[in-house]
Amino acid sequence: MPMMTEAAWNADVESRIEAFESAWQRQESVDIGSFLPSVADSLFLPVLCELVRIDMELRWSKRMPRTLEMYLQEFPQLRNDSDAIQQVAFEEFRQRL
């Protein structure tokens, strides 16, 4: 059921995202890899996708733009998820607007 999936998703993913954003408030630059679950974890790709989108937004706002291609080089696992690629591409597109 969606509610159960959402609850599980919320508990872990949101705490990682919150920690990531808090780190961004303290530092000039933050390493996404420190906030990811293990690659084998089913939440790895969803968390990676969210953190990349947020990282991209925050870097562009600080005039340190990164592109989709740069993230794909750092996290080749993203290539396995076409939906994630689309989301990050969309994020880059709207940062450029």
Nearer to another protein, 40 or 96 (CB): 96
Fill in the per-residue mask, 31 to 60: x = in contact with another protein (CB under 8 A), - = not in contact. Answer: -------------------x--xx--xx--
DSSP string, 7-30: HHHIIIIIHHHHHHHHHHHHSS--
d(CA 41, CA 77): 12
Q: What angle do CA 31, 82, 41 make, to 5 degrees?
A: 55
Nearer to another protein, 40 or 55 (CB): 55
Q: What residues line the site for another protein (CB under 8 A)? A: 1-4, 6-8, 10, 14, 17-18, 21, 25, 50, 53-54, 57-58, 91
